[in-house]
Amino acid sequence: MQSQNRILDDLARAANGALGALGGLKAEIDQQVAAMVERVLRSQDLVTREEFEAVKEMAARAREENELLRARLDRLEGGAGREGQDRPD
């Protein structure tokens, strides 16, 4: 009976050791994959979220300014057209 317990204890220790080794292997594989993904992303010349948000904000401001200038131009062109129509020949 005691020999069976000893065999089971040995098997349990071996299984725990194997699981510990697999856990370490998984961590190392995860680290290697993360490093590989980072290298690939850097080689793709991608922008960071902060850079993207800054350019997005600049584009929104430029669009806003363009709309204001277009409205001003429409007012100026509309005013010149009316002045010519209001004048007697």
Q: Let me know whether 59 and 37 are in one domain.
A: no
Higher pLDDT, 53 or 22: 53
d(CA 28, CA 79): 73
d(CA 53, CA 3): 68
16 pLDDT higher than 60: yes
Instruction: Using the 3D structure, point to which of 46, 61, 77 is the last residue of a domain.
Output: 46
Question: What type of residue is 15?
Answer: A
Residue 47's contacts (CB-CB under 8 Å, 6 or more residues apart) are: 55
Name the average pLDDT for the chain: 84
20 pLDDT higher than 60: yes
Q: Let me know whether 2 and 30 are in one domain.
A: yes
81 pLDDT higher than 90: no
Q: Provide the pLDDT confidence category of residue 80 given band limits of 50, 70 and 90.
A: low
d(CA 81, CA 86): 9
Residue 57's domain comprises: 47-89
Q: Let me know whether 27 and 2 are in one domain.
A: yes
Q: Provide the pLDDT confidence category of residue 13 given band limits of 50, 70 and 90.
A: confident
Q: Let me know whether 58 and 72 are in one domain.
A: yes
Q: Let me know whether 40 and 71 are in one domain.
A: no
54 pLDDT higher than 50: yes
Question: Model pTM?
Answer: 0.43
How many folded domains does the chain comprise? 2
